[in-house]
Structure 1
Amino acid sequence: MKIIALCSVDENVLRSTLDLGEKDIIDVNTVTSEFGWMNDSGIVLDECHETKKVEETMEYWGFIWNLRREKYVQITIPCSNVDYCRSLMEAYSRLLTNSPIYDTNRTLICKRKVYKAYGDWEKC
């Protein structure tokens, strides 16, 4: 059986429980060994579900600098391929040339891991 658990973590309580001081990185193995004392460590289990399969994929998004909001904003749809995302960014940059809102010289492509958990089929 596999279980996917969603937890809220109070990093300050966890740090003090583990005597980590001001370290920025909390070791996953250390956290795992602390799960027996979750509440004492500042970890609260929000949800827990049985799952049959967990899939990890990468997702790529294109961002462009918004002159009015003074920050990067999403401009593409999520892409599973970095080259496809890059071609979308090039197309958007051509369309937005001379835009009063976007700076087409300041673009980013960012990636993130996406996890999909699958459970058993149930009748509706």
Structure 2
Amino acid sequence: MDDLVTRLSNGEHQVRIGGPDPALSELRRRIDEVGLVFIAFSGPHGATELGVVVDREATDVSDADWGCGTGQVHIEGNLTLNRVPIRCVADIDLSLLTGVGRVVPRRVGADGPGPVTSACAASLLERR
């Protein structure tokens, strides 16, 4: 598996809302209308910003008070990072636009996408 994917899938990491305009109103617009959110993972190896296609069924904004800029949103979505299909999961504090996030490698097959198990990951690597 790719080194970056391995690092980001190892536990939770500090994240922040990224993109060209990391503001509360832009985050709301991106979740509600655009369906694409930029989430930046920071760490000792530098920052990695991911463009996450929002999974509207798994994303939860029920704790958000958009008018006051408080509460928390849970964002989930799929993307491909360095040719590896992944799912990004992040919990964002709206007052700071920061939080914690993680990456989960996925397998894509006849049964649809699902998390990659260690045995499955080895099998995928052998096919490449």
TM-score bracket for the superposition, by shorter chain length: under 0.3
TM (norm. structure 2) is: 0.22
Flag the structure with higher helix content: 1
Greater length-normalized contact order (CA 8 Å, ≥ 6 residues apart): 1
TM (norm. structure 1) is: 0.23
Q: Which has the larger radius of gyration?
A: 1
